[in-house]
């Protein structure tokens, strides 16, 4: 069975001994079948709500800047943005090297650099070196780009509800059974079977804990910036 919206809904149908849907009647499904579709989406929503930064929702965004334009809008599906990932890609034709942008607080931007946003000149433009997040889902660059550089940054996207029969969730297929366990919880609630709904919810939440242990609850390291007298940088230190 394909790993898509139709396949997941039919996983629920098979567990409940219901007739499976097909590509021809999926869009018009009603009654229990409509609730099964909603149950699958509800399970995926619940998984996504359990962590802000699931790696399968990670996006590397590439955007071409416009000379003379300092403000840009984040994509509509942004959940959280890693502001420390902003960088300008090397471009031989434009004559710039790859460079990392430092994060600037918006208040500092307003205090020190706001004039360049309205007064574009060659003197206050160049390869961006600073980035500030604005209050309205935008970011602004300092200095204002003087050429059409390519910007790259990383973010985590909001979950989306599946609609078409061949829509595929962002959650890896290896966790298919966890999605179905969650969908079964909602399907049992629709049928008024509170006992089975409770037992499948426990199984579902345990599955999410397993996902968190794989993707989220990892051992991190602190990278020291201390340099000894011989010019060697210190090693990474594990956080316990």
Question: In this structure, are 115 and 92 located in the same domain?
Answer: yes
pLDDT confidence of residue 222: 53
Domain-embedded: residue 165: no
Q: Is the pLDDT of residue 104 over 80?
A: yes
Any domain includes 230: no
Asked if residue 226 is part of any domain, the answer here is no
Same domain, 182 and 210: yes
- Cβ pair 1, 166 in contact under 8 A: no
Residue-wise pLDDT for 137-172, tens only, equals: 999 999 999 999 999 999 999 988 999 999 999 999
Q: Is residue 163 part of a domain?
A: no
- Based on the fold, state whether residues 45 and 97 are members of the same structural domain: no
Supply the range of the domain harboring residue 148.
55-156
pLDDT 10s digits, 21-32: 999 999 999 999
Q: How many domains does one find in the chain? A: 2
Q: Is residue 162 part of a domain?
A: no
pTM for the structure as a whole: 0.80
> CB atoms < 10 A from the CB of 203, how many?
14
Q: What is the pLDDT of residue 232?
A: 53
What average pLDDT does the segment 172-178 reach? 97
Q: Is 192 exposed, middle or buried (0-12, 13-18, 19+ CB in 10 A)?
A: exposed
Question: Do 77 and 23 belong together in one domain?
Answer: no
206 and 136: one domain?
Answer: no
pLDDT at 122: 82
12, 80: one domain: no
User: Which pLDDT does position 106 carry in this prediction?
Assistant: 96
Q: Judge if 68 and 150 occupy the same domain.
A: yes
Give 237's pLDDT tier (boundaries 50, 70, 90).
very low
Structure tokens at 139: 């970011």
Q: Is residue 220 part of a domain?
A: no
For 63-76, give one letter per residue: b (16+ CB within 10 A) or e: eebeeeebebebee
SS3 1: coil
pLDDT of residue 116: 87
Per-residue model confidence (pLDDT) at position 1: 80
pLDDT of residue 240: 41
Does 146 share its domain with 59?
yes
Average pLDDT, the chain: 91
Q: Cβ neighbours of residue 132 under 8 Å, at least 6 residues apart?
A: 103, 104, 105, 106, 108, 109, 139, 140, 142
Structure tokens at 58: 């990670």
Strand partners, 103: 131
Do 47 and 66 lie in one domain? The reply is no
Strand partners, 141: 131
Q: Is residue 222 one of the residues assigned to a domain?
A: no
Q: What is the predicted pLDDT for the residue at 123? A: 83
Q: Is pLDDT above 90 for 59?
A: yes
Taking 60 as the threshold, does the pLDDT of residue 226 lie above it? Answer: no
Same domain, 40 and 66: no
Domain co-membership, 63 together with 146: yes
Q: Is the pLDDT of residue 238 over 50?
A: no
Rg (CA), the chain: 24
Compute the distance between CA of residue 140 and CA of residue 153 in angstroms, rounded to an integer: 13
Determine, yes or no, domain membership for 69. Answer: yes
Q: Please, where are the H alpha helices in 152-225?
A: 176-191, 194-215
Average pLDDT over residues 119-126: 87
* pLDDT for the residue 239: 43
> 131 and 92, same structural domain?
yes
Q: Is the pLDDT of residue 235 over 60?
A: no
Query: Is 231 a residue whose pLDDT tops 80?
Result: no
């Amino acid at each position: 069975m394909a790993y898509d919206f139709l396949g997941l809904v039919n996983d629920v149908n098979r567990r409940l001994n219901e007739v499976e849907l097909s590509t021809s009647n999926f869009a018009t499904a009603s009654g229990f079948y409509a609730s099964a579709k909603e149950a699958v989406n509800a399970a995926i929503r619940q998984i996504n709500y359990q962590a802000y930064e699931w790696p399968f929702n990670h996006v590397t965004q590439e955007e071409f800047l416009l000379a003379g334009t300092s403000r840009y809008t984040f994509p509509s599906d942004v959940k959280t943005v890693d502001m420390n990932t902003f960088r300008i890609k090397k471009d031989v034709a434009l004559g710039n090297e790859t460079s990392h942008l430092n994060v600037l607080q918006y208040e500092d931007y307003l205090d020190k650099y706001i004039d360049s946003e309205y007064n574009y000149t060659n003197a206050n433009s160049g390869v961006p070196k600073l980035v500030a997040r604005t209050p309205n889902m935008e970011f602004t660059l300092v200095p204002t780009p003087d050429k059409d550089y390519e910007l790259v940054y990383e973010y985590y996207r909001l979950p989306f509800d599946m609609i078409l029969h061949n829509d595929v969730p962002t959650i890896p297929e290896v966790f298919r059974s966890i999605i179905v366990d969650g969908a079964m919880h909602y399907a049992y609630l629709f049928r008024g079977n509170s006992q089975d709904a409770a037992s499948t919810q426990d199984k579902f939440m345990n599955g999410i804990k397993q996902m968190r242990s794989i993707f989220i609850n990892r051992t991190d390291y602190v990278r020291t910036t201390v340099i000894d007298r011989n010019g060697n940088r210190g090693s990474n230190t594990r956080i316990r």
